[in-house]
Each structure stands twice: as C-alpha cells, then as structure tokens.
C-alpha cells in the first residue's frame, strides 16, 4: 500500500466514503458525485476534491471499491456486510486485512533517493521494537532524529510527512498505541493486541494449537511479524538487529499473547522442556519464555 506519497489518504475518509456507498444500497455512484459530496473537513476547511479522488483511487487499489463505466461501488469485501450501517470497528478490520495482502510484485522498498517505500516494510520494522519502551511520536529525542540513527530514515520513510502518515495508519489499523508523557511528550508503542484478538475470533472456543503451529498461522495472516520473509528482508535492508531472531519470536508478539490471556481470550501453557512443537519467545524484559500450546477461550 503506497500511502507515504499520498498523505491525504486516511482511513477516516475511506470509512466515510464506504458508509455513503452502503447507504445508497451499494449501487454504482458516479465518481464526480462522490467527489463533490464527500469532502470531509480538513483543518476547519473543506478537503480538496483532489484529496477525495486520491482516497477513492486508494480504495480501488485495496479492493474496498470497484470502479467501472457506471462509476464506483463497494467491492465484495464490504458488500458482504449485513445491515446499512457498517461500524468503524468492522470497517477497520476489513481495511487491515486488505492492507496486509501483498500486491502483485510484492512489497516495495525505497531503494534509492527518489523512490518511496510501502507501508508494510515500515510496519515490519516497527513491530520489531519493544512494546514497553516508548518511541517519541515526533521521532526526535534531544534534537536527534531517532529514525536516522537506525537507518529507517531515509530508507523506509523520507521525512516528517511520511512518518506522520505511517503513524496515522498504524494507529487506525491497531499496530500502534499512544501514551502521553510529561517528560517526553507523546510516546508511541508497537502493539498487536487488536489484530491478534480479531485473528483468534475466527477459531472456535476450546480449539488448541501447538505453539509452533500457531506461530506459522500468525505469520501467514500477518506477513510482517518476526520470522516472516518480509521481516528478514527489512532487517537486512536497514541492518536492524531484531530481538526476535534465530528461531525466537520477539516481544511484541509475546506481549500481545500475554495481554489477550489476561483478557480471557486465550490460555497459554508454558513449557520447561525442549519439545519440537514448543516456541521460544523473547519477552519484553529480554528473558526467554517457552510456550507449548495456546487454547482459544
């Protein structure tokens, strides 16, 4: 998903467009009508028509909308929603699933000064950080650009505009949480709690998975977490020393699983042996934890 060069594209705008189409019974609507009618406020003024058109284009690219000679309508993923008022939670879940799908040719890296990276490679780096050590939302600490220090800027994001676009999408899709700090201002943290919660809802209560089997399923559904090809490619691209490596799964995944256990969504069984189906995790406090199986509650 290319959003870094299109910061005007926002999940909130796509949601408004989707609700509008749904209330018109998913019929074809002319593009000009959509553009003229759907111009949400942008900093107390009407959003430019070109901004709405760019959002429509992204919606088509993500298979949220279909475009034809008759105009634009909701694509199958959104037409299948029952009722005439899709909730924001349901919409964001569908949007997240569409964003996670690899485009033809795979996810793109910003391999030179003139090219721009996809959202997903940046997300792969982000989810390799600590879920408990806050990162400044403005990417600066004592005047130092922390993204430049770890090769993320300009290799993955090129400037503040692209970084803010990444933050906005990561927050909406459930991969980032924010926290205010008196000393450091707004801090941001990587998280997988909401995406994993949605993932486990697709299974029956009482279903049990061996730890390594579950990790493979998670890696298939989330192709940017520890151990995936994309995560390994990003680590090599920016020379990132990811905690989750050498067959270990990192702290963001582990933290999400433990939080879901606290919420009563899953039950984790720890292990002290070295069975082949066990999975070793790097916990947020840097200790190694071994899990044998996980049960859906």
Domain finish residue from 41, 70, 100: 100
Mean pLDDT over residues 281-295, rounded? 91
Asked, for residue 217, whether it belongs to a domain, the answer is yes
- Which segment of 23-37, 126-140, 146-160 scores lowest on mean pLDDT? 23-37
Domain finish residue from 66, 100, 134: 100
pLDDT tens profile 93-129:
999 999 999 877 778 776 655 566 789 999 999 999 9
pLDDT tens profile 222-251:
999 999 999 999 999 999 999 888 789 999
CATH at 92: 1.10.10
The H-or-E segment that residue 21 falls in is helix 11-23
Contact 96, 119 (CB under 8 A): no
Asked, for residue 34, whether it belongs to a domain, the answer is yes
Asked, for residue 165, whether it belongs to a domain, the answer is no
Q: Is the pLDDT of residue 7 over 90?
A: no
pLDDT tens profile 32-83:
888 888 765 455 555 677 888 899 999 999 999 999 999 999 998 888 776 5
Asked, for residue 177, whether it belongs to a domain, the answer is no
Contact 247, 254 (CB under 8 A): no
Asked, for residue 53, whether it belongs to a domain, the answer is yes
Domain, as residue range, for 259: 204-228+243-296
Asked, for residue 275, whether it belongs to a domain, the answer is yes
Asked, for residue 41, whether it belongs to a domain, the answer is yes
Number of domains in the chain: 2
Residue 184 vs residue 66, higher pLDDT? 66
């Amino acid at each position: 998903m290319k959003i870094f060069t299109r910061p005007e594209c926002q999940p909130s705008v796509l949601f408004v467009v989707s609700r509008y189409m749904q209330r018109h019974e998913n019929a074809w609507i002319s593009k000009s009508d959509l553009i003229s009618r759907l111009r949400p406020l942008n900093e107390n003024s009407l959003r430019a028509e070109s901004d709405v058109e760019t959002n429509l284009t992204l919606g088509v690219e993500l298979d949220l909308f279909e475009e034809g000679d008759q105009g634009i309508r909701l694509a199958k993923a959104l037409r299948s929603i029952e009722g005439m008022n899709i909730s924001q939670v349901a919409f964001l879940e569908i949007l997240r699933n569409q964003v996670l799908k690899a485009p033809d040719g795979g996810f793109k890296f910003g391999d030179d000064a003139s090219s721009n990276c996809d959202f997903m490679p940046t997300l792969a780096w982000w989810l390799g950080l600590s879920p408990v050590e806050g990162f400044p939302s403005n990417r600066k600490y004592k005047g130092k650009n922390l993204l430049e220090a770890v090769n993320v800027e300009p290799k993955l994001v090129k400037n503040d505009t692209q970084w803010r676009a990444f933050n906005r999408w990561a927050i909406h899709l459930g991969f980032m949480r924010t926290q205010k700090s008196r000393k450091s201002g707004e801090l941001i943290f990587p998280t997988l709690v909401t995406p994993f919660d949605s993932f486990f809802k697709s299974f029956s209560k009482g279903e049990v998975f061996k730890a390594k089997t579950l990790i493979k399923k998670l890696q298939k559904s989330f192709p940017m977490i520890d151990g995936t090809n994309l995560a390994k490619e990003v680590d090599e691209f920016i020379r990132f020393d990811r905690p989750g490596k050498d067959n270990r799964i990192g702290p963001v995944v582990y933290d999400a699983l433990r939080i879901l256990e606290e919420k009563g969504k899953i039950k984790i069984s720890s292990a002290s042996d070295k069975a082949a189906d066990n999975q070793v995790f790097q916990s947020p406090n840097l200790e190694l934890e071994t899990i044998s199986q996980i049960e859906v509650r």
